[in-house]
Amino acid sequence: MAIDFTFTDEQQAYRDALRDVFARECGSAEQLERLTDGHKKHHSDELSRKLGEAGLLGPSIEEAYGGAGGGIVEEMILLEEMMKAGAPIGAYAVSLIVAGAVQKFGTEEQKQLVLGNVAAGGVEAIAMSEPESGSDVASLTTKAEKVEGGWKLNGVKVWISNAHIADRILIVCRDAATDSSAKKHEGLAMIWVDPKADGVKVERIETMGGADEVNYVYLDDVVVDDDAVLGQVGNGWLQLTSGLNVERLIIGAIAVGQATRAFEGALQYAKDRVQFGRPIGTFQVQQHRLADMATEVELARLLVYKVAGDVARNPTALFPKEASMAKVWATEVAERTVNAAFKIHGGYGYALEYDIARQVPFSLVATTFGGTNDIQRNIIAKTLGL
Ligand X SMILES: Cc1cc2nc3c(=O)[nH]c(=O)nc-3n(C[C@H](O)[C@H](O)[C@H](O)COP(=O)(O)OP(=O)(O)OC[C@H]3O[C@@H](n4cnc5c(N)ncnc54)[C@H](O)[C@@H]3O)c2cc1C
Return residues touching ligand X (CB under 6 A): 94, 126-129, 134-135, 159-161, 214, 365, 368-369, 371-372, 374-375, 378
Closest separation in Å from C-beta 244 to ligand X: 11
Q: What is the largest CA-CA distance in the chain?
A: 78
Closest separation in Å from C-beta 289 to ligand X: 28
Angstrom CA distances, 303 to 5, 256, 298, 325, stand at 10, 10, 9, 8
Contacts made by residues 129-134, CB under 8 angstroms, sequence distance 24+: 129/157, 129/158, 129/159, 129/160, 130/155, 130/156, 130/157, 130/158, 131/156, 131/158
Closest separation in Å from C-beta 241 to ligand X: 14
Closest separation in Å from C-beta 228 to ligand X: 18
Closest separation in Å from C-beta 359 to ligand X: 14
Minimum CB distance to ligand X smaller for 7 or for 369: 369
Nearest by Cα to 363 from 3, 308, 355, 38? 355
| b/e per residue 309-318 (b: at least 16 CB within 10 A) | bbbbeeeeee
Minimum CB distance to ligand X smaller for 207 or for 282: 207
Letter for the amino acid at 275? Answer: Q
Minimum CB distance to ligand X smaller for 93 or for 307: 93
Q: Cβ distance 245 to 311 under 8 Å?
A: yes
Closest separation in Å from C-beta 214 to ligand X: 5
Closest separation in Å from C-beta 380 to ligand X: 12
CA distance 378 to 372: 10
Pairing of strands 150-161, 214-225: antiparallel
Minimum CB distance to ligand X smaller for 269 or for 362: 362
Closest separation in Å from C-beta 8 to ligand X: 32
CA distance 44 to 37: 9
Minimum CB distance to ligand X smaller for 135 or for 287: 135
Q: What is the dihedral of CA 35, 38, 41, 42, to 10 degrees?
A: 70
Minimum CB distance to ligand X smaller for 173 or for 344: 173
Q: Which residue is nearest to ligand X (CB)?
A: 134
| Beta-sheet strands, E only, within the chain | 124-127, 143-147, 150-161, 168-175, 188-193, 200-204, 214-225, 229-230, 274-275, 278-279
Closest separation in Å from C-beta 125 to ligand X: 6
Contacts (Cβ under 8 Å, ≥6 apart) of 379: 320, 321, 324, 371
What letter would DSSP give residue 199?
Answer: T
Nearest by Cα to 334 from 361, 370, 308? 361
Minimum CB distance to ligand X smaller for 190 or for 256: 190
Give the up-direction half-sphere exposure of residue 140: CA atoms within 13 A in the CB hemisphere: 29
